[in-house]
Amino acid sequence: MLPSSQEHYLVITALGVDRHGIVNAITRHVSSCGCNIEDSRLAILGKEFTFIMLLSGSWNAITLIESTLPLKGAEMDLLIVMKRTESQASQPMPSTVWVKVDVIDSPHIIERFTNLLDSHQLNIAELVSKTQPAEGDKPPQLYIQITAHSPVLLNGSIIEPAFHQLCTELHAQGSISVVNYAQ
């Protein structure tokens, strides 16, 4: 009996040395297998790139990419990780928080901000950080940008002072925006 014709989903992470044409080669292979890229993220970290994709397709298309991508990845000297998943219906997130921070880099800084958001029951949806190396007598600077969502309406008068207190404690320059959407 053949599997149903419903959409199937696969998360793929590809990691390897950044070089010209590598992303095109991966996306071309995904397309040739009959899969669609539903969502993706790409980042260059040091000399490595990482490409994360959520693919959709028929059972046959997903099975084809699962069976052919490891060999294709080996040809391109890539580490490939794959996991089947399911479509997730969007649950309402009536509040969004955007955080931006500039601070002298040191261990545990990012953890302190993610812990603050977690302690206010926020779901971190995106985290971007970048360290600028020391220049002359200036220490290395860490830039952090976080987007988080709340499944309940958020009272900004509670999280905003806690955020500013943390920035003061860490001698950081930061901004926080809380947006509540009409339901």
> Is the confidence at residue 1, as pLDDT, over 50?
no
Are 118 and 175 within one domain?
A: yes
In a domain, 2, yes or no: no
Which residues pair with residue 123 across a beta bridge?
A: 149
> Is the confidence at residue 3, as pLDDT, over 70?
no
> Is the confidence at residue 179, as pLDDT, over 80?
yes
Are 110 and 66 within one domain?
A: no
Q: What residue has token string 């943390």?
A: 166
Q: Per-residue pLDDT tens for 24-79?
A: 999 999 999 999 999 999 999 999 999 999 999 999 999 999 999 999 999 999 99
pTM: 0.80
Are 174 and 105 within one domain?
A: yes
Residues 130-153: what's their mean pLDDT? 94
| Domain region containing 123 | 95-180
In a domain, 103, yes or no: yes
- Using the 3D structure, point to which of 59, 85, 111 is the last residue of a domain: 85
Concatenated DSSP letters for 16-66? EE--TTHHHHHHHHHHHTT-EEEEEEEEEETTEEEEEEEEEE-HHHHHHHH
